[in-house]
Amino acid sequence: MAKKQKDNAGLKTLGIFAGAGVLAYFGHKYLSVPKVVVKSIDKADQEASIQFGKELHNVDISAPSTIAGDAGFELRVIPEGNKLRLDVYRNDKIKKHQEQLIA
């Protein structure tokens, strides 16, 4: 009887570690994409104030630029005529696409 209880304790421990491994794998794979908020655009100075995740960045919108974020995310700001293309990438795969008109 004591041997059977000891074996069950080992299985419980194994189950806990396996569960933690699965949770870590899915947590890493499905990270939430940081939010992108355009706070202001100054067309005359060719500058935009963009919040990427929790940080606020001033970006030159006359040429494409990249902002590094947390957990391997990056924001690519690409001016296209009268709009800004805001793409969030992680591991060179697009995770979110957003466009903002330049008024």
Q: Digits of tens for pLDDT over the chain (103 positions)?
A: 555 555 555 555 555 555 555 555 555 556 799 999 999 999 999 999 999 999 999 999 999 999 999 899 999 999 999 999 999 999 999 999 999 998 7
CA–CA dist 16, 101 (Å, integer): 50
- In this predicted structure, what is the pLDDT of residue 31? 74
Q: Are 87 and 66 in contact (CB under 8 A)?
A: no
Helices marked H in the chain — which ranges?
2-29
pTM of the predicted protein model: 0.70
